[in-house]
């Protein structure tokens, strides 16, 4: 019993340490761990309950109290990522946006293309879009305006498709591991105009590469005025210190209840690493996870977003 208690105390303390360290250091490893703080906080509570169950003393309650404080801190961090309540405005346009990392070697490109056509969205961001290359002509019937896959860039990776003309479209690199992984364009949807951005970040364990990419995105967005809609695969949750800083700097915010998109084998306990973010006065009315992954290692996202009509 003593050995089991020692083991439980050790792991509970480790979970607490991992939950706190990302807030104390910008070291890339702690940032990587920081993206999993919800899971770490839950693990800390469970392990602390085991400690208390093995030894019901006041001292054994200390890890549980610390775990509760960690949960409160994680909740506070989450709240800092959430968009404020929408301002009442009767003169708005609603748009449907789809974001989907479809996986570069996906064999179900035809199914995905048919699904995208049936969705009849206003704007679509696809990542690792190679499987859609044979179906671009069919997709163009629904989404006649495009950047990526032969438009502005030859490679078929990040792609933005729209029912509406793309104004001043730009494609940028995000470092040596992120060639053509940033697309920006203005879109006017029946009088409601916004800047639309699609991007794909590298994985957080490539040391400081993700931080460098986010700093590049900040520079690319400095002159973006008005409503901003940014979405893509961040390869991390919003609780990563790097991404929390990015949100604070850009003013972008998320829907309160982001769906978990990875891994597809464990959707109920996975991580939300694909995100749809907005800056006021844009507002996310809803976000839901696409029901089927259609051969991808990510679930897609479908959002309804409101935009005010320009006076």
Q: Where exactly are the structural domains of the chain?
A: 2-79, 92-308
Alpha-carbon span 158 to 127, nearest angstrom: 5
Of the candidates 67, 50, 36, the one whose C-alpha atom is nearest the C-alpha of residue 5 is 50
How many percent of the chain have pLDDT more than 70?
A: 88
Higher pLDDT, 205 or 152: 152
Q: Are 60 and 277 in contact (CB under 8 A)?
A: no
102: exposed, middle or buried (C-beta count within 10 Å: 0-12, 13-18, 19+)?
A: buried
Q: What angle do CA 146, 279, 223 make, to 5 degrees?
A: 70
Alpha-carbon span 182 to 198, nearest angstrom: 6
Report if pTM > 0.85.
yes
Give the range among 55-59, 114-118, 202-206 with minimum mean pLDDT: 55-59
Using CA atoms, how far residue 278 sits from 217, 234, 299, in Å, is 15, 15, 20
Q: What is the mean pLDDT of residues 173-184?
A: 89
Q: Are 184 and 219 in contact (CB under 8 A)?
A: no
Q: How far is CA 155 from the centre of its chain?
A: 23
pLDDT of res. 8: 53
pLDDT band for position 71 (cuts 50, 70, 90)? confident
Q: Are 311 and 270 in contact (CB under 8 A)?
A: no
Name the CATH topology of 92-308: Deoxyribonuclease I; Chain A (3.60.10)
pLDDT band for position 3 (cuts 50, 70, 90)? low
Higher pLDDT, 69 or 256: 256
> Does pLDDT of 305 surpass 80?
yes
Using CA atoms, how far residue 77 sits from 82, 104, 184, in Å, is 9, 33, 28
Sheet strands (E) in the chain: 92-101, 123-127, 145-147, 159-162, 166-172, 182-189, 192-200, 228-233, 253-254, 274-279, 283-289, 301-308
Q: What is the mean pLDDT of residues 61-73?
A: 82
pLDDT band for position 1 (cuts 50, 70, 90)? very low
> Does pLDDT of 137 surpass 50?
yes
Alpha-carbon span 173 to 183, nearest angstrom: 9
Alpha-carbon span 101 to 274, nearest angstrom: 8
């Amino acid at each position: 019993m003593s050995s089991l208690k020692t083991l439980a105390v050790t792991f509970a303390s480790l979970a607490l340490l991992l939950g706190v360290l990302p807030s104390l250091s910008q070291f890339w490893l702690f940032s990587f761990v920081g993206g999993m703080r919800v899971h770490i906080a839950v693990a800390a509570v469970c392990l602390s309950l085991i400690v208390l169950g093995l030894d019901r003393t006041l001292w054994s309650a200390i890890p549980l109290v610390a775990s509760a404080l960690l949960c409160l801190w994680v909740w506070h961090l989450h709240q800092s990522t959430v968009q404020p309540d929408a301002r009442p405005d009767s003169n708005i346009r609603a748009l449907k946006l789809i974001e989907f990392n479809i996986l570069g070697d996906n064999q179900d490109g035809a199914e995905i293309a048919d699904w995208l056509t049936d969705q009849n969205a206003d704007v679509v961001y696809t990542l690792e879009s190679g499987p859609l290359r044979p179906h671009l002509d069919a997709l163009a019937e629904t989404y006649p305006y495009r950047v990526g896959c032969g438009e502005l860039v030859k490679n078929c990776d990040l792609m933005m498709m729209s029912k509406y003309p793309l104004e001043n479209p730009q494609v940028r690199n995000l470092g040596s591991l992120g060639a053509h992984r940033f697309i920006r364009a203005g879109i006017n949807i029946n009088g409601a105009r916004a800047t639309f951005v699609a991007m794909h970040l590298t994985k957080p364990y490539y040391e400081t590469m993700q931080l460098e990419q986010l700093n590049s995105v900040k520079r690319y967005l400095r002159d973006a005025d008005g409503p901003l809609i940014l979405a893509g695969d961040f390869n991390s949750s919003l609780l990563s210190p790097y991404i929390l800083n990015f949100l604070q700097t850009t003013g972008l915010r998320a829907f309160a209840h982001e769906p978990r998109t990875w891994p597809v084998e464990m959707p109920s306990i996975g991580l939300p690493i694909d995100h749809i973010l907005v800056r006021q006065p844009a507002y996310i009315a809803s976000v839901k996870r696409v029901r089927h992954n259609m051969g991808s290692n990510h679930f897609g996202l479908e959002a309804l977003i409101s935009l005010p009509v320009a006076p």
